[in-house]
Structures are given as structure tokens and as C-alpha cells.
Structure 1
Amino acid sequence: MVVSALGGTMSGDVEPTSPEPIRALATVPTLGVLVDLDGTLIPIASTPQQAQSDAEVASVLRDLARAPGTCVVVVSGRPRASLDDRVGGIEGIDLVAEHGAWRRDERGWSPLPLVGTPPDGIERTLAALARAYPGAFAEPKTWSVCLHYRRVSASSREALVVEATHAIRGWIAQHPEYELLEADHALEVRHRGAQKGTAVPWLRERLGPGARLLALGDDLTDEDTFASLDEHDVAVLVSPSERTTRAAARLEGPSEVRALLRWLARARHRAVAHRDVTIGSSDSQPPPPLPRRRAAVSPDDGPPLVVISNRMPDAAPSGDARTRNVGGLVAALEPALAARGGLWLGWSGRARAGQHRDLAIDRSVVPARASFDFEPRWHELYYNGFANRSLWPLFHSLPERARYADDEWAAYVEVNEVFAEAASRVTSRNGTIWAHDYHLLLVGAALRRRGFTGRLGHFLHIPFPPLDLLETMPWAPEIVSALLAFDLLGFHTRRFAANFLACARELAGAERIAEDALRVQGRVVRARAFPLGIDPAPFESPEDDEGVDEELAQLRTAMGDRQLVLGVDRLDYTKGIPQRLEAFARMLELHPALRGQVSMIQVAVPSRSDVPEYAAQRAAIEALVGHINGTLGEAHWVPVRYVYRSYGRTHLARLYREADVALVTPLRDGMNLVAKEFVAAQDANDPGVLLLSHFAGAAEEMRAAALCTNPYHRDGMANDLARALAMSLEERRARHAELLAMVHRTTSASWADAFLSALEG
């Protein structure tokens, strides 16, 4: 790992087994130690109340605090009473509570002077929300409130997070002095001035000039402490696995932290007694942190491939579906990056003022990762603003939902410039860069302006609109011209590629020289279709799961002999969920014999909680479900079951197999991998029917064998659904065999290989 100011110089190499940075602290005249509590000194527990200190922690801290020239500060996000209760009685140590909002030295507790509204209002909101989710609770503090959900069932976590985030973002909009922090199974609303990094100048002022600092911590809030250190200090991440961090070294967990601090106490006592720490003695060798190799990147020795996306993939697989923020893109790109020794660059997910020029590079994981923090305003203006309120609706052919604001466009330009600057720091000038999706349409041009001469590719994961729609955007010519800085532009379908080619001719004066190629300013730019696929194996043979088995057994009992129609979608207005529900209800009106014989399950996966349009979409869907059930349902039969939650892959695969018909009917979609997952999950002897929108990108590949429908035509979709439910076994088998062959032919791996072969060839 290396931390670099984007305009500065990176550090040199540190040998992977060298303990020197830690050992040197034993002999400095004055040393300050800042150590986190939960996850660093003591193990994480299910609730803050269950996490307790012990006699060993007290002994280690007391001995270190007694060492000559040593000051020990426990820095925690806990309320001061809770921190006092656990370590306040240890002689000689100081405390920092509530992320720096309170400090305790020999004179007692004193508050950090902060200005703003106390968080009482959002505390009441989060407490009320927590009562609706068993296992959740809100922890109030002076200048923050933390919503804990570690004990909430995995299937309900995402819904809770989305609801809470929506409430928090709304409150923060009225109280900009606060920010949202995403911690381990917790969301915290915190005053921007109360952060752990404030403990560093407070301690340094007390210790005087020349003091060295050692900081140890395990979570993202400790990165504030690490960022506040200077080049002579040492930061240690406490984590059983690697992640992107500003720390120079890593320890596995609390037991290793205690061992290191115990050694440090002995070594500093010995240094005073003997004026030296003998290198060969048992006391002199610290329990070795696992140093993270520091590697500078020069213009000539960067990784051969850099992938850029708005968000980073997870450092390791997680059981929490919410953390899989890049979805199928991870499975497709990680093997390609690993094979080429490449690096993945993206936003860290954190927003902190003044930190975006710090680039954290972690080469200890495969593939290597580089990330940076956003300025707080970027999330609202760039991400929620231009990306998701301008580009997203327009590119999905819904121009009436798009809005255009000059400040949001300016933020979009600014963030693309920052991505380009970061990319230029981690790649050689003639390397290969592959950028992804609608967040980064301008990054290629920004890289060219910085002198990048290597191969540049871009893949758009959403549709590209036709010319007459794109022209409604005030900055359409700028966007098209910027895209022409790439060498290869990838789209899910031939139609999307053709739309871009037409726009490039009209808006940027590009010359069409081949079916998939343009000439512009002496360069050749290609635009081609690369349909993204899935890895079918996990859906064909899902893992056993007793909880899933039990839930599906209950579903079969509830369904009886009725047929099952299934919809699975992220909650988004482009997915056509209201239109689908109306078509289902219309089918029951047009075909009354089906009443009581078929039920629908609509799974809405929580999404984009802080964009108001999505909250309105959810409310509309829930009202429509209630209307349908109230109007058409019977005491013994509920027409529609609506589920607002996320499912893991195993659960989805098993649910797909239970369905007689899958309704994949977006109003417009780049691809829609649900269609391919459903096909892969079917029993070939008795497969279900895929009812697919003409306007899903998947329809270009699957149209011949899927039953296609028009989601804008309610009666037509109703009759198509009735036809799907009545389809013979012979026809279902024939359609499924053709669809399954296509799913195996175009996979996530073959997609990545095809694009990179075209880009690098």
C-alpha cells in the first residue's frame, strides 16, 4: 500500500519482512500511541454492550503508559460513558470518545467546540426505523447517532440500509454540518468536525516538537487518524484480510495488537535502561506486522491494464449482499486483471473534505486496487445529480425524467478530471485503460489531455440513446466528442452501438469508414457490441442451504397447485414494475379462469435510497399491489406477493427454478442479466418460460427463443402472460434448450476476453 498526493512523490520500497519502522519507535525520546478500542484492542461483538475490556488490556495499556516518554490515548467512536466504563479506570492513559467530540486528559473530560444542531431529530427517526427491524438499534451520542444492524437477518439488511440511508440523506440535506459514515454493519450520522483525526494535533501539541506517533485501528473511521499523521509516524491497520488503507503495516487482530504493545512497553523501558535496543535480543524483535509493500509507479513501469469504475469491488467476498456493489462486473473483470497483473481504480465509497488528492494503492491483493475519497458535494452533484438524474433517465429513453443543472454538469466534469488524474498516477503512458459505465464518459478525453498515449477502452453498461433523444441534453456534443477519445467503445447491443455511431457523425463530425468504425482527427475509433453474460454454473447447481430449503418449502405449501409468476428487479423506474403488475391484473380480468390458479411474486431489491424518485417508485408499487389484492383477491388466494428485500445467489437460483414464468419486462435496459440467470436455473426437463421485454438488451440475443412482449401495451402483455402459462411442455423444452445454449456461449469471462482482445489487438 502507498499513500500519495496525486501531485506529489510516492515513497520508496519497504522490504516485506522488515520490522524497522516499528522497532525504531522503541528508542525515540517521545512517543504517542493512538489506539482504537473495538476491533483493535478488543474483539468486535454483536452489540457494543457485549464488547468488554479485560485485565490483559488494562495491563498492556498501563505498562505502556508507564514507559518513559510515552503517552497512550485510546481513540474510539463510543460514547464517553461507555468508553470510561471499559478503560477509564486504567492509570496513566488518556481517552478520546465519540470520534473526537470528547477528550479526557489528567484534567478530565472536555468537549471539542462544534457548531450545529444536535442530532436529536435523526436519532428519533432511526430509533423508530430500528424498531421495525428485529436486531437493529440506534445508539445516540452528543454529535452523532449510530444505527447498528449486525443482528438483523441477512435478508432484511439491505431494505433497512436503504430506508435508513434515505432518511439520513434527507436530514443531512437540511443539516450540512453532518455526514454519513458506513461502518461494519452500522450507519453513523456524524458531525463533520468530530473525527478521529482531530486527536493527532491534540496529542502532538501536548507532546511537543520531535514526538513520533504510532496509530492502530481497524475500521474506516481510523483512516482519519492515519491521514492526519506525518511521514515520520507509523500507522497500522488491524484486519484479518487486506483492504485499501493509508496504513503502512497490518496486524491480524486484537491479540497481535496486544503483543505488539507489550513488546513496545518492554523495549522502551530497556532503551532507557541501556540507552539502546540490542537488535538480536528477544525483547528487541517486535511481533512483525505484515508490512504492505510500498511501490512507486513511474511513467514506464505501471501495470499493463488499469480498470476504472465509479465504485471499487470488494476486497473479499462478503455474505452481506449490500456490499457487492459492482455486481457481475467483478466476476467478469477480476480474472482478466489478475491474469494481466492489472489494477482496479475507483472511488473508495468515503466522502471527506480535502482528501481526494490522496490515492491509496493496495498491491497486496489480487487484483491490486487503488482508490480515493470524494469531496462531500460530489456525491450529491455528480453521482445523485448528473449521473443519475440526467444521464440515467435520458439514456433509458425517459427524457421526461431527466433534469439538467449547470452545477451538476460542472461537478461531473470535475470528477472525471479527478479520475483521469488518479489513473495517470497508476499507469504507464502507453499502458491500457478500460473505463466503465455512464459515470466516466469524459475520462478518456481527460486522460488524452494529460498525455496518455496507450490504448483506451470504454464499456457502457446501460443503453445509448438515439440522436433525437441525446440532443435534448445541453452537453450532448461535449459528451460525444469526449467518447471519441477512446479507441474502442463497447455496448451491449448492435442497436446501442449504431445509435452512438449516428450521434458521432451528427454531433462531432466523425467520418464513418466501416460498419463499426469512425475516423476523427486522424484517429480510428471503433464502436461494437459485446453482450455481457453470466457464469451459469452457480445457477445450474446452487449450493445447499437449509434456510432456503425451509423457505421454499413454505412457499410450495402456500402456492399449492397454483402456477407461479416471478419478477426479480432492482427497485428502479426503468424496470417497468408498475406496468408489469397492471398487466398481471389485466390478465386476471381477461382470463377469469386463471383467478385462484396463479399467483405472482414480485421481488424488489432495494436501490438508490438517496434519490427521491426511488422512494416515490416504491410507494407507488406498494399502493398498486394493495389495490390489486384488495380488488381481485379472495380469502384463500392472494394474487400478488410483494417482497422488498435482497436475495443471495443461491436463494435466487432456487426461486427461479420454482417459477413457471419469469417476467423480465423493463421499459428499457442495457442487458438485464436476470433473464440469463433464470434460464440457467431451470430444470431442463420441466423448464419455466421467459417472458422478455422487447426493450431489454438481452432481447437481441434471446428474441428467437424467449417469448417477447411490449411492456407499454398492457393488454398485449396480459395475453402474452396467459400464453406463457399455457405453453406446452414440448415447446417450453425446445425454447429453453436454445436459450441455455446461448447462455453458455456468451459468458462473463468470454465478454471480458472479447473486449480486451479487440482493445489490445
Structure 2
Amino acid sequence: MSRLVVVSNRIAIPNNAKQSAGGLAVGIMDALKNTSGLWFGWNGEISEISDEDEDDDLDMVEKDGITYASVPLNQNDYDLYYCQFSNAVLWPAFHYRIDLVDFQREAWEGYCRVNELLAKRLQSLIKPDDILWIHDYHLLPFAAALRKLGVNNRIGLFLHIPFPTPEIFSAVPTHEQLLEMLCEYDSLGFQTESDRTAFLDNLAQITPLEQKGDRLHHAFGQRFMTGVYPISIAPDSIKEMAEGPLSPKMVVMKEELGDAKNIISCERLDYTKGLPERFLAFEALLENYPQHRGGKVRYSQIAPTSRGDVQAYQDLRHQLEMEVGRINGKYGSMNRTPLFYLNQNFERRLLMKIFRLTDVGLVTPLRDGMNLVAKEYVAAQDPEDPGVLVLSRFAGAANELTSALIVNPYDRDEVAAALNQALNMPLAERLSRYNDMMDVLHKNDIAHWGEHYLKDLEAMTPRSSKQKTIVDESNS
């Protein structure tokens, strides 16, 4: 079996402190352990090291059969590659927010330079038979950078976020270069079929695109595969976290709730998550269904700060704080607060227990690649008395969790009606919907996701042999 090399923008270096790894990290680590693999990426540190000293900044740690190799970035590279191009161009564009794109040519050059720098640092660690699995939008040019260095290993990319349609993506000035770079991957994995189709539609608009089969394509002189691999969770692990005795603090919280129904939402503070629209939908619930007023329902929104140095995120936080005060002022009382907004992180295990205690999970992003919180909420529920998931149609998870209450997050009255339905749903219907969704989560758990992707990537012919085959075919 070939060794697996995983490359991601950020990696968590293991230490002796107690850690609570997310579902994706667990899935990747399982795949790496099976092959004594290597995980490479940025360690999160900002370094003063100059380019001449770069050979000394590679940090190698081995734990539980996995080798972790990481490097720092200097401040300039961090600003251009991460803050500016990755998160001020690609992130908003891929989430259909062209109005927030701030393109600067210098940032594009920095983005490419850092990808080339990381590729060069990884090159010396790659063995001839290694399979390389690259993750997400920070590293779109990574395969092209490796190919320039003569690396012909099988290289696959999995994109965790949506892929925009040509009408959106063509607004990014360097979209043609990015598309050509993406064709240097042997395999391109997407969350949904609409994302895969959008990528191919983009390609077809700028270059001849040949179909070599259902999922095999030829463009820019390269042959590659595309596939749909909806990322998932480890449902049994989530269930185990959610079960068990409650902490004293949670016991008090449960007692304070009393008979009140509780709606929960949890995601990082981001303009793609539809938080202002969600607050307005909750207000519409109280307006349209007055039986829920007077402390009968409490909505708790957990939204830890994300990219707090970016103006768009600062504006969003201010907007939410204003809305919370307005809604609570309108519908609250001296001893009743209908809307709780918590701008803080919660430990993962504690969060799963909170999910289990709540009646409704409200997950309504304006655009999301998958949204694992929706899946975690379902897996955390009490199998004998489950809560109800209200889910945006624009989250990738809506393609799988069809037994959730699927809503348009832009329609506050529709979301309010779904919340009312969820709060009044009889046990028999809740059980039916829960069991349907758990069947989906067990059939496509995080292990199956990784195995499925890597099996397809491993089946691809390595680039050097492939190129020879294409040349031979063209000469015959």
C-alpha cells in the first residue's frame, strides 16, 4: 500500500495536552495511520526567518505512526496568501459574495509564491510511490507547483467549500489561471454534484473540454478525474460524546430552562452563515406565532469570532449585537431573555451534550460546502426523544439529510414556520425523521468518505506513465 501524504493549509501539531480533534482531523488521522503517513502544512506561526534560512524551519514530529511536518510563514506571506487572496478573494467568491471580493495583484502573486514555497519544502519528503491528498481553497495551485518541480505522483484535491458557477467565478481576474492549475491534479473531489458541474462548466467556457467517460476529462493537455464525495462525521463518536452524565454547570442550565423549548445554532462568526437573516427569522417566529412568547422558547446562538481583523467580520459582529439588543428589548422581560448570543468557543464534547439537550437545531447558511454541524446535531440526539433539524437548502448537507425541515434562509417567514413546526412536532414524526437521517450518516461516515476518495485516487495512473500513454495514443 502506498504511503499517504496529506497537505492542508493548517495542521495541528500533536502534544501531550488533552485535545478534542474535529471530525475531519479524526478521519484524516485514521487514513494516515493505515499507511504510516505524513501530514504537511503551515503550523500557524508567523516567523521572521528569511528565505535564505528556510531549510532550518521545517519542524518534524512523529506520533502514533503519523509524521507531522510543518513550517511557519513570514508576516508578508501570511498577509498576502492567507488574509488577502485566500480569505478576501477566494472565500467570498466561492460563497457567491462577489460584492466582498477585494482583488489585489500583489496578493495573487503572494498566493502563488507561498504555494510554490510549500511545494518546494514538501518535495524532499515525497517518496516515489506516495499518494498526495491536498485540501481546500488555500492550495488550488499546489499540484501545478509540484509538477514544475518534477513531481509525478498521484495528486488529488478535495475542495471543502462550494465551487461557483461561471457567472460568479469569471469575476475573479485570475480565474483562467486557477482553472488551468486545477487541471494538474489527477483527481478533483467536490461536496456536491452541483459543485462538480460548476467546475466543469467553468472549464468548458475557456478551453476545449473532452469527456473520457463519466468522470474522466481532458483539458489543457491533462487528463483528470472529478467526483462527488460528501464529507461526513463519525456518528458513533458524536453519540458517545453527547451521552453520559451532565456537568454541574449543565445541570443548572437544564433546570433554568424548565419547560421552555430551546433552539440551538452554532458556527463561527462568518457572513456566509446567514446569522442576521436567522435572527430576523426568530423574530418572525415570535411575531407570527405569539404562543411562543413569554419565555416559552429560547434561542441560543453560539458564534465564536472568526478572522476578527477583517472589516467585514467586524461589521457583522456589530450588526448581530445590535439585532440581539433590539429583539430582546422587544420580546424580553426582566426575567426572560428569548435570544442568547454567545461570541465564544465551546469545547467539542460539551457542545455535543448541549446539542442533545435542545429541541431544535437551526442550521441555515446562505451558502455552505457541506456543514458538518447539521450532521453533528442529528448524531448527538437522544434516540428515544430526538430534536428536529431545520436546515438551509443551500447547505451541501441538504442533499443527504432530506428528512430535515429544508428551508430557504432568505425567507424569514418560511424559516419561522419551520421553527414552529419543529417546536410542535409529535414524537412519532421526530423519531421517523431522526432514524432516516441516522441511516444516511452511518452509511456515509467519515471513514467511508476518506476510503472512497482515496480508492478513486489510487486507481489513477501516475502522471509520468499517463503522459507516456497519451503520447503513444496520439502517435498510433
CA distance in 2, matches of 1:352, 1:567: 36
Provide the residue aligned with 2:423 in structure 1: 725
Contact 2:302 2:344 in 1 (8 A): yes
**Amino acid across the alignment from 1:632:** Y
Q: 1:473 Cα shift? A: 0.3
Matching of residues 316-327 of structure 1 within 5 Å: 316=15, 318-319=17-18, 327=22
Match of 1:337 among 29, 32, 36: 32
Deviations 1:647-667 (A, max 9, x none): 122211111111111000001
**Amino acid across the alignment from 2:273:** K
Residue 436 of structure 1 pairs with residue 135 of structure 2: yes
Higher relative contact order (CA 8 A, sep 6+): 2
Deviations 1:568-606 (A, max 9, x none): 111111111111111000111011111121111111123
Match of 1:712 among 410, 413, 419: 410
**Amino acid across the alignment from 2:45:** R
Q: 1:750 Cα shift? A: 1.3
Cα distance, 1:356–1:573 mapped onto 2, change above 3 Å: farther
CA distance in 2, matches of 1:562, 1:742: 30
Residue 527 of structure 1 pairs with residue 226 of structure 2: yes
Normalised by the size of structure 1, how large is the TM-score?
0.58
Provide the residue aligned with 2:473 in structure 1: none
Match of 1:455 among 134, 148, 154: 154
Provide the residue aligned with 1:686 in structure 2: 385
Aligned-residue identity in percent: 37
Give the match's secondary structure for 1:541. Answer: helix
Match of 2:395 among 657, 681, 696: 696
Deviations 1:640-690 (A, max 9, x none): 011121112221111111111100000111111111111111112111100
**Amino acid across the alignment from 1:582:** L
Match of 2:438 among 740, 745, 759: 740
Match of 2:271 among 570, 573, 581: 573
Deviations 1:599-626 (A, max 9, x none): 1111112322322322221121111111
Provide the residue aligned with 1:595 in structure 2: 293
CA distance in 2, matches of 1:649, 1:683: 17
Equivalenced residue count is: 454
CA distance in 2, matches of 1:320, 1:364: 16
CA distance in 2, matches of 1:555, 1:518: 55
Provide the residue aligned with 1:760 in structure 2: 458
Residue 348 of structure 1 pairs with residue 43 of structure 2: yes
Contact 1:576 1:711 in 2 (8 A): yes
Q: 1:392 Cα shift? A: 0.4
**Amino acid across the alignment from 1:438:** Y
CA distance in 2, matches of 1:552, 1:725: 22
Q: 1:317 Cα shift? A: 6.6
CA distance in 1, matches of 2:41, 2:23: 16
Cα distance, 1:514–1:586 mapped onto 2, change above 3 Å: same
Contact 2:264 2:360 in 1 (8 A): yes
Residue 404 of structure 1 pairs with residue 103 of structure 2: yes
Q: 1:468 Cα shift? A: 0.7
Q: 1:459 Cα shift? A: 0.5
**Amino acid across the alignment from 1:380:** D
**Amino acid across the alignment from 1:551:** K
Q: 1:711 Cα shift? A: 0.6
Give the match's secondary structure for 2:8. Answer: strand
Cα distance, 1:378–1:555 mapped onto 2, change above 3 Å: same
Contact 2:183 2:220 in 1 (8 A): no
**Amino acid across the alignment from 2:90:** L
Give the match's secondary structure for 2:303. Answer: strand
CA distance in 2, matches of 1:379, 1:521: 31
Provide the residue aligned with 1:669 in structure 2: 368
Contact 2:242 2:353 in 1 (8 A): no
Deviations 1:9-61 (A, max 9, x none): xxxxxxxxxxxxxxxxxxxxxxxxxxxxxxxxxxxxxxxxxxxxxxxxxxxxx
Deviations 1:153-177 (A, max 9, x none): xxxxxxxxxxxxxxxxxxxxxxxxx
Residue 644 of structure 1 pairs with residue 339 of structure 2: no
Q: Which has the larger radius of gyration?
A: 1
CA distance in 2, matches of 1:611, 1:710: 28
Matching of residues 19-168 of structure 1 within 5 Å: none
Contact 1:356 1:373 in 2 (8 A): no
Q: 1:506 Cα shift? A: 1.5
CA distance in 2, matches of 1:736, 1:394: 34
Cα distance, 1:318–1:389 mapped onto 2, change above 3 Å: farther
Give the match's secondary structure for 2:44. Answer: strand
Provide the residue aligned with 1:563 in structure 2: 261
**Amino acid across the alignment from 2:344:** R
CA distance in 2, matches of 1:377, 1:367: 31
Provide the residue aligned with 2:327 in structure 1: 628
Query: Which has the larger helix fraction?
Result: 2
Q: 1:357 Cα shift? A: 4.2
CA distance in 1, matches of 2:337, 2:111: 46
Provide the residue aligned with 1:465 in structure 2: 164
Match of 2:118 among 414, 419, 435: 419
Provide the residue aligned with 2:78 in structure 1: 379
Contact 2:212 2:218 in 1 (8 A): yes
**Amino acid across the alignment from 1:463:** P
Give the match's secondary structure for 1:340. Answer: coil
